[in-house]
Amino acid sequence: MKIQRLLGCYFVITAAALSASAQTERAPQRIVFARGATVARASGYLRGNRDSAWFVLRASAGQHMRVSINARDATHGTVISPTGRQETQPGGVVFDDDLSETGDYKIGVSESPMANAWRGNFTVVVEILPRGQSTRQTSLLEHYVGKYPNELFRGVPSVKTRLRQLLGANYKAFTDRMQVETPIEKDGDTIVMRGCMAHSCTIEEAILVINLNDGRPYVALRTNSKFSRTFPANRSELPAALKRAMAWKP
């Protein structure tokens, strides 16, 4: 009988704990677009650096989604696709890309772990453009001419997303070769950016060219003073701007 009573107490306490835990988790807030609207907003409140807020919305493959977070202090944003693919960026514009999946997308907002804790309101702004409609991204890219690549990567996070898709396991080799950057240049209908490993310029380098018409990236990696890898690998598909950058000698 004592064992039965102890087991009964255990199950009661466990159930109470699970119930309390469930109550502390806030259910995601669904973002709904008004009829004909392409922009929707949702607000939330953060209570410290261990707090987070989640939102959910439905979108379709082929649409273009842009998510930004406006807050008085530093935040982090996470976007999770219907199949669980995750993209996390510092607050500001946290996602800006074409969607490849149809279903519910989750958006998480939390305070930046690199900044001081704070409490306050924030606003999530989501823009979804119809399938096939031109986006503002390529026109935005041209504004970074004369600036450094890291500024573009922060301001247009979809560029890093497309680079990861293009480079796969070679993404780290690319970032390792962007430790020392040169200002972005414009070459015809493309922008060109270069970088190298510290103390290894002309030996370990990376070149990134982005087509301003469709936002498609192309990459060349120099290893041991030779451009041994290009993406795509078939060099006949590389734009002329990338070939010129590869042939340039200081």
Q: What are the pLDDT digits (tens) for 42-78?
A: 999 999 888 999 999 999 998 989 898 988 888 989 9
Q: Where in the chain is the domain with CATH 2.60.120.380?
A: 29-128
Q: Where in the chain is the domain with CATH 3.40.1420?
A: 137-247
Beta strands in 15-174 (DSSP E): 29-30, 39-46, 52-59, 64-71, 75-80, 86-90, 93-98, 103-111, 120-129
**Regarding the domain delimited by 137-247, which CATH topology (the fold level of the hierarchy) does it fall under?**
Inhibitor of vertebrate lysozyme, Ivy (3.40.1420)
* Mean per-residue pLDDT, 180-209: 94
The CATH number of 29-128 is 2.60.120.380
**Mean pLDDT score across all residues of the chain:** 85
| Measured distance CA(126)–CA(71) in Å, rounded | 15
Q: With a cut of 50, say whether residue 11 has pLDDT above it.
A: no
Report the pLDDT value the prediction gives residue 137, as an integer from 0 to 100. 58
Residue 3 pLDDT class (50, 70, 90 cuts):
very low
Global confidence as pTM: 0.55
pLDDT digits (tens, 9 = 90+) for 202-217: 999 999 999 887 788 9
Report the pLDDT value the prediction gives residue 215, as an integer from 0 to 100. 84
Report the pLDDT value the prediction gives residue 113, as an integer from 0 to 100. 81
pLDDT digits (tens, 9 = 90+) for 76-104: 899 999 999 998 888 888 888 889 999 99
Q: With a cut of 90, say whether residue 151 has pLDDT above it.
A: yes
